[in-house]
């Protein structure tokens, strides 16, 4: 998509950080894994597994992938 510059503006390097410069701990707090769901477990079970593996307090999936639905 095309961008329009509305006003020239500079960013103060003292605050914030480019997403590419984030460390592992920052990614674990605000990241996403493009996971290949294996056959067998439900989407919910897969998320619980990832949550435990990474030692997180919260995790969630973006749309179920289940045999009974076959869509999300």
Partner 1 sequence: MGRGNPKVTGVLPVALEDAVKLIGYLMLSTKEYVAVMQLHKEVDLSKVREVLEMFKGRIYQKPPVRSSVKRALRVKEVYELELIEYEHPYALIRVLCEHGTYVRKLIHDIGDVLGVGAHMRELRRVRTGPFKEEFNLVRLQELSEYVYLWKERKDEDKLKKAILPAEYMVSHLPKVVAVDGAVSAITYGADLAVPGVALVHEKIRKGDHVAIFTLKGELVAVGIAQMHTEELLQSKKGIFIKTKRVVMSRDVYPPSWKKRKE
Q: Are 47 and 37 in contact (CB under 8 A)?
A: no
Chain residues 2-61 in contact with partner 1, contact rule CB under 8 A = 2-12, 15-20, 22-24, 27-39, 43, 46-47, 49-50, 53-54, 56-61
CB atoms within 10 A of CB 49: 14
Smallest distance, partner 1 to C-beta of residue 48, A: 10
Q: Are 33 and 26 in contact (CB under 8 A)?
A: no
Which residues contribute to the site for partner 1 (CB under 8 A)?
1-12, 15-20, 22-24, 27-39, 43, 46-47, 49-50, 53-54, 56-72
């Amino acid at each position: 998509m095309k961008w329009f510059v509305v006003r020239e503006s500079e960013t103060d390097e003292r605050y914030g950080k480019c997403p590419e410069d984030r460390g592992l701990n920052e990614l674990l707090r605000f990241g996403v894994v493009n996971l290949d769901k294996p056959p067998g477990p439900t989407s919910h079970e897969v998320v619980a597994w990832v949550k435990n593996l990474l030692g997180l307090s919260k995790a969630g999936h973006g749309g179920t992938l289940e045999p009974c639905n076959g869509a999300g």
